[in-house]
Every structure is written in C-alpha cells, then in structure tokens.
Structure 1
Amino acid sequence: MQSLSSAIHAALMTAEPRAKCFATRDVARRWRRGELSWQFDVTMPEYPARPDEPELLAPNKMPKRGKFGSERARIALWHSLAHIEFVAIDLALDMAGRFGEQMGDEFVSDFLYVAADEAMHFALLDRKLKSLGNHYGALPAHGGLWEAAHTTRHDVAARLAIVPMVLEARGLDVTPATLDRVRAAGDEHGARILARILDDEIRHVGFGTKHFMRFAETLGNPPESMWKTLVQRYFRGAVKPPFNDSARLAAGLSREFYADIAL
C-alpha cells in the first residue's frame, strides 16, 4: 500500500495543471477509501513543481489589468483567479503532507478535502478562460504566492495563522465585490463560479481556524494573542479592511482576532 506522504509528494511534483488536478483528487479519494497507509516516509519538497507557463513575476512587475469592462481586463481577472486556485492546491497538499503526522487524521482529512476543492475551483476557472478563447498560462502571474508556505514550513501554527487565516480569509473579503462586478457585467455564469468558490472558502478558512485554535489550546496559549504574534512575525504586509465580518465569523474567525491589528 502506498504511503500517504508518497502520494501527496507525487501530486505536489506534478507540474501540468490538468494532471495535478487529477492527481490531487485521486489522493483525496484514495485517502477517504483507506487506500493509503498512515506513513510519512517521504519529505515534502521545498517548492512544488510548476508548469513552464505562466511566467511568474514579482508583484510590482505585474501588468495592470485596466478597466473591468474591457475584454483584456476580464481575461486578466479570470487568469489571476485561476493562478490563485492553482497555487492553493499545493498549499493544501503541503499542509496535509508536511504537518499531518504531527496533527493527526482529522487534520489530514480536512486539508485533502480542501486540496480537492481547490483542484475543482481551478478546473472551473480554466474552463472559464477557455470559453473566452484563452487559457491558463497565457498571461504572467504573481510569483510570490508560495512565499508564505515556504516561510512557515517549520511551524504548523504559523502556517495555519498565515495561509488560511490571513490569505484565504482575505479572499472572503474581496470575492463578494468581484462577484457583484461580474454579475453587473451580465456574466451570470462567472458569478455562479465565484459564489461557489466563496462558499467553499468559508469552509476552508474554518478548517484552518479550527485546527489553529485546537493547537493553541494544547499549548495553553490564548488563540487570538498567539495568532497576532505569528502574523506580526511571519506576514509580510498588512491585514487590511474592509472585512467580510459575516463570512469570517461563519468560518470561526471573530473580530477579536484581527480588529486591533488591521490598518
């Protein structure tokens, strides 16, 4: 029987996007069926495999999208979202493979569930791009999205604090406005995709918050103050309003966490 860590490692080192989606969903399915052994005999890579395209650029080198109503701006939006979801597949896989032995069965199940969701999100967005006569990889993409994972690779509390509870939580804040713009432009199909992603991301942030709070409690630390300390130490940037307080609260992330450190 293949080990859990070997299967996750293989998915992380699959570069081609369609193949990575299949590999990720296969790992999650085999884990649910009991077809992978609880062994962590393969170390997770420092960096996952990446396709030759898109070209990855520093944030300050990314081209401007332009006004939302233009075709160029619409394609740039969907391409950017597809890239975020593609990297999110690896973030969830790495979470399960890197910290699963330490954190236990439920942790692994939760984050493999997230990985399968992210693969489905990417597939939806990739099909959206193709319906517009484009494809993932055709435009440059943000090259710094893996940085938070790499910086926190030795600390599960820091990884949970930064990736689900800051980066994914930010998605809860910004997606509703994007959804409204897409719907106002008459793209109901695109709006349905974003609504599905938003619903799923509430659950994803909830998984991260749940496991962070449990871990903090095992250390005897107040979760809110521990989270703030880790964010100040590991997050390069600011926790910025406006916040989608209702979605964050649905994910278990109350204002006690973030209100007094927001800029």
Structure 2
Amino acid sequence: MVEGMQMREAAERILFAETLEEKLRLAPKAISDDAPGAAIATPERPGRPKELRIHAKGVRVDFPGIHRLDDDRERGVMLHFLANHELLAAELMALVLLKFPDAPKEYRAGVYEAMREEQMHTLMYVRRMRECGIEFGELPVNDYFWRIIAPMETPMDFVTRLNLTFEQANLDFSKHYASLFRQAGDNSTAAVLEKIYQDEIGHVGHGVKWFRRWKEQGGSDWESYRKMLSFPLSPARAKGLAPFNAEGRRLAGIDEDFIRHLEICDQSRGRTPVVNWFNPNAESHAMSGRYQPTKNELSLEQDLEMLVTGWCRKDDVAILRKPPSREHLAELKRAGFDLPELVTIADLRERKLGGLRPWAWSPDASALLKEFAGQMSPRVPWHWREASPAEWFSKVIGIRLEELLGLGEESGTICRTVDEALAAVERCLESGQALAKAAFSHAGRGHKRINSESPEEPTRNWLKNTIAAHGSVIIEPWLERVTDFSALYEMGAKGEVELIGLTVMDNDAAGRFQGSRVSPKWASMLDPEVAAFLHREAKVMKWYQEKIPAALAKLLPGYVGPLGVDAMVHRLRDGSLALKHVVELNVRMTMGRVALELLKKSAPNRMGRLKILRKDRAGDVSSLGGGTLQGGAVILNDPGQASEFLAVWEVM
C-alpha cells in the first residue's frame, strides 16, 4: 500500500487530471478506503488534455469491416475509438467512488479494482494504436458514455447503465473482434481484446452481484433491468454490434431467462425510429364512427400484427397490441429476420421519432398516433395526419381513378338505393352475371355474385342491408378471372408517385384474397399467354409506370405513403384476353407491398409467396414453418397465440 494513500485520492487523480500520463498512472493495487470524504457533485466533464477533451457532438468513428483489418491506419482508428471508451469507463468508475462515498465498502472495492483494469485497457490500446501510427488524441472523441452514465443518482444506476449495458455489450464485441484480428494475422491486437474480454466478464459479474442485491425482490432479473432503464437506453444496448455471445454472459453469472430475452431484443442505434402500426380494419373505421369490430376483425388485428416486420427496417419501432412469445421471436431471429423494436404506446412517450407509418391513415390510426405529432423533426416525410377522406377507403376511389384514366366503360356503377342497384344488376345480367361490392369492403370480402337464378328477395335484402351500413354498393359485370395482379406505389410529400413493384395475387374463386407471389422478374410468375398479352397488347408497363402514377398524383392531393392498384386479366366470351386496369385502389399498405418488402429481406434472385391461412384449416402447424429467409417457409405470427389467422412467408 502506498503510504497514506486513500482510494479517494486515486479516484480524484483519474477523474480530474488534465494529462494523459497522470490519468493512466496505475492506481496502487492495495489502498485504504478509510476516508472516502464527502460526496461530490457531478462535473460537466472529466479532466482531459486539450486534444482529448470530450464534446457533445464528437465525430462518430465507424468500425472497419473485416476486409480492412489488415490496414494499420484503419486498425488505429478503431483502437482510438475503443481507447476513449475505456478511458471514459475508468473516469466514470472514479466518479462513482467520489459521488457515492457511503456505498458498501465491498462494492467500492470492486469498482476500484475495475477502475485499475480500465486504466490498463486504455494503456494497452494506446500502445497498440501507436504501433499502428496513430496517437491518442489525433482523432476527435465523443462523450456518449459520460452523458448517459454520469447523471446517475445511485450506484444501482451505474450498475445498470455501465456494467449491465455497455460492458455487457462488450462481451460480444471484444470476443468477436479478437477472433477477426486473429484471422487477419494481427495477434497483438487480438491479445489485447482477449485480455479485455476476460476482464469484462468480471466487471459484468460484479454488476450482476450488486444488481441482484439492490433490485426489488420478487421480479426476474430481466424485468427489473428493463424497468431500471430509460430512453435512450434500452436492453438492446446491452448487445454489441457482433454475434451474440451467450457463453460470456453465463460466465458473468447472467441467468438463462435474461439471456434468452436479450438475444431477441432490438432497438434503433442512431436513426430516429419510424413508428409502424398494423390497423387492417381501416375501411370499417372509415365507414362509421360507431364501428364495433366483430370477433373475426379483432382476430385479424391481433393475429397478424407481426406483419409489420415485413415492411419495418431493423431500427424502426412497431407498436403491438400483444407481443409474441419470446420463443417465437427467437425463431424469427433464427430464420434471419432483423426485428424492429417491439413496443407499446406508453414506451414511445417523450421519445424523438422519425415518422409515423400506420397500415392506413384511417380514424383509428389518426386518433392513436396524435399524441406523437410533436415528437418529430419537420424534415421527416411521414408526419401525423388527420384521417384520410372516407371515400379514399371505399370502392368509389377506384372508380374515380378509372374515370381519370378514361376507362369509364370498365367502371362499375355506384348505387345508393336498392332500386338503383337492382337496375344496374339487370343491365349486367343482359350479358352475363353481376358482382355487387359493399363500398367499404376489402380483400374480396363483402361481395355478392348475382346471376339470373339468384333468388330475388335475398338479393334485395342483401342490397338493402349493405347500403344501410356502407352508404352505397358498386355493381359491375362478373368477369371470368384469369390472373389477378397488383401494382404497388409509394407517394412522396411532393406528390411524386414511384412504382415499387408488381405482384401476382392468389385469390379464391369468389375473388377473396389468399396470398401474394413476388419475384425479381414479375413476368416469370405469369402464364406465357398472359405475359405475352400484357406486354405486347395491353402495354402493361406504360400504364402502371406512367399513366396510373400521373393520375394518382391528381386524385390524392396531400397523401404521403403506400398505395396499391389491384388489376385483373380476364377472358372475354370469344376466348381472347382483356385487362381490367383498376379493380380497386387501396390508399394504404397492402399485403402485396408486405410481400415485396419481405422479398428484399430474403435471399437474392429468389421468388417468394405470402399466404394468409385460416388456422383451423391449416392442418399441422408445425409443418408450415421451419424455413429461413434463405429458403423455405416461415410463420410470421406466433402460432401459439393466434386464434384464427396465420401469416406464412415462403422463399422459393
């Protein structure tokens, strides 16, 4: 023991010294803690030499990829970044000792030993980066760790934020990068990272010990940990940008329940997250302010909300009514999905957001998301908005599009009385059969096929009840369907409309949606006769790349978001093919768009199919999944929780 030296004295030197030599002069291993002194207030920043002073807007330094690890300069850049982290950890541990003099002696002794090891880690990085041609302080440094951890109010805050979050993440990073450097032939850097990995296991273990001693008793470690964190920290920050290292966590004493939960946990690490919400009953909400969902409609919302994983990016947020089981999320991760952060409404309050993307801007979405209207930068494209006009959710909007395109002869008839509807039916029956569509129906539901043998009274009653509920019905000729397809668009803030892609829809004989097929080459999914007709005679791409986007921009002023135009190839009485350019227009997200986004996440140059199945008709559920994004089928929603519907994505 250094004569008369106190733990406080060593901590003050490490925290406040303004030369690197003083800060990194190793504190004595044996030291007295008899005079811890009075608690200090948190300084704005630690003492640093000029070239290492931390700034609120430090420059972000990206880690080099494996293909750059043999470059001395790139290795030095990464080591510089890591050295600053280790120095910050030492300074924060010194702050703990000075800020909480009354903490248990055993705890303080553990922090002190870890502080010495952080000094050693910094020294090792500094020496190694010099060998790579970079001096510590040559590059800018940031203060992220300091800003997040220094405001701690209790030692438990420190344990949670540093030991169980940032140091736990380093269990992934240090082990993985040590292996990469070994593979690249840089044994010196690998040895540094391997030493840090072993020490980090001890630091995390020290945190686990005191976390369990101080947390509320009765709850699991995982739940207690989640409750202790506040934004911008989340459990996802306890994972490094590297393969998940369960074994290192076990060695640190973390229990299996915590490890399994953490492995499937994700959150944005930089880009402000876009908030996504699945509200598939948008048409019904738009139809009536007194909407009461049926059991089937509630099942649709609750069973299929994990479809948001199809269009979400990894650093997005998805609002869920009921999160899937941990086991199902682990299965999706195994299949190759980068999951968004799964949250409740309460989790989003006071967070900075990057936009709002519900399935549709119907009244339910507008009401639910209104409280977040002020949490976004004016520069983001997807702001909160009032509910779209009700007509945009009805079959009427598709007829308006046909009129704009000069396709009036293809349009159905909008009927607001039973007599109007019956007259329109009679006109259709002169040349075949009629199809009646409820104005706010979707996915082929709410349709009625009428022929000359249809009983008059049930038909009249159906029309009467449907008009009373929907305000109108659309009557159109029944067509002999050959192929259903959909054109998917994205409309920007300036009214620009971009074709995202084309899908083939799988519908049953009544036109009810069952799934979507997608491929890098759309025509490859079509029957050769249909493909030849569409490209040579119907000039399909001119319509869907040029004419329809121009019309959509005029038809939907102010709209921003996804759109879908359903269309159909049908056969005329003479056996020739014809194109119904617009079967309906969906001013919202669609299943076809979800399928296209899933294809982007899957193995390249493969076809895909999204199917929506009735659970009671799906047979052996265990036989439906087991695949990955590289090939095979994956059940997207949790089959153990689903009551009626299953969503299956298959890569073919």
TM normalised by structure 1 equals 0.85
- Counterpart of 1:149? 149
> Structure 1 pair 7/19, CA: closer, same or farther in 2 (3 Å)?
closer
Letter in 2 for 1:225: E
C-alpha distance in 1, partners of 2:133/2:59? 25
- Counterpart of 1:83? 84
Alignment of 1:98-137 (within 5 A): 98-101=99-102, 103-137=103-137
Q: How many residues are aligned here?
A: 253
Identity %: 22
- Counterpart of 2:193? 194
Alignment of 1:159-174 (within 5 A): 159-174=158-173
- Counterpart of 1:207? 206
Letter in 2 for 1:12: L
C-alpha distance in 1, partners of 2:57/2:173? 18
Indicate if the aligned counterparts of 2:24 and 2:119 stay in contact, CA closer than 8 A. Answer: yes
- Counterpart of 1:243? 244
State which structure, 1 or 2, has the greater radius of gyration over its C-alpha atoms.
2
> Deviation at 1:117?
0.5
Indicate if the aligned counterparts of 2:19 and 2:48 stay in contact, CA closer than 8 A. Answer: yes
> Structure 1 pair 79/43, CA: closer, same or farther in 2 (3 Å)?
same
Letter in 2 for 1:48: P
Greater Cα offset, 105-114 or 248-257: 248-257
> Structure 1 pair 20/93, CA: closer, same or farther in 2 (3 Å)?
same
| 1:101-153, Cα deviation, whole Å (9 max, x unpaired) | 1x3111111000000001111111111122223211111223312122123x2
Greater Cα offset, 236-245 or 91-100: 236-245
Unpaired segments of 5 or more residues in structure 1? none
- Counterpart of 1:17? 20
Match of 2:60 among 53, 59, 62: 62
| 1:215-250, Cα deviation, whole Å (9 max, x unpaired) | 12xx43533322110124561683347421110111
C-alpha distance in 1, partners of 2:232/2:31? 36
Indicate if the aligned counterparts of 2:94 and 2:115 stay in contact, CA closer than 8 A. Answer: yes
> Structure 1 pair 126/50, CA: closer, same or farther in 2 (3 Å)?
same
Q: Match of 2:145, SS?
A: coil
Indicate if the aligned counterparts of 1:227 and 1:257 stay in contact, CA closer than 8 A. Answer: no
C-alpha distance in 2, partners of 1:19/1:63? 26
C-alpha distance in 2, partners of 1:169/1:19? 28
Greater Cα offset, 37-46 or 203-212: 37-46
1:43 counterpart = 2:24 = no
> Deviation at 1:4?
4.1
1:52 counterpart = 2:53 = no
| 1:28-57, Cα deviation, whole Å (9 max, x unpaired) | 53xx343x4233225154232122123646
> Structure 1 pair 146/208, CA: closer, same or farther in 2 (3 Å)?
same
> Deviation at 1:62?
1.9
C-alpha distance in 2, partners of 1:127/1:11? 19
> Structure 1 pair 198/2, CA: closer, same or farther in 2 (3 Å)?
closer
Greater Cα offset, 88-97 or 232-241: 232-241
Letter in 1 for 2:143: G
> Deviation at 1:69?
3.2
| 1:80-116, Cα deviation, whole Å (9 max, x unpaired) | 1211111111122222332341x31111110000000
- Counterpart of 1:140? 140
> Structure 1 pair 49/56, CA: closer, same or farther in 2 (3 Å)?
closer
Letter in 2 for 1:215: W
- Counterpart of 1:93? 94
**Whose helix fraction is larger, Structure 1's or Structure 2's?**
1
The alignment's C-alpha RMSD in Å is 2.5
C-alpha distance in 1, partners of 2:138/2:162? 26
> Deviation at 1:17?
1.8
Greater Cα offset, 200-209 or 58-67: 58-67
Higher relative contact order (Cα pairs below 8 Å, separated by 6+ residues): 1
Indicate if the aligned counterparts of 1:44 and 1:94 stay in contact, CA closer than 8 A. Answer: no
C-alpha distance in 1, partners of 2:124/2:160? 28
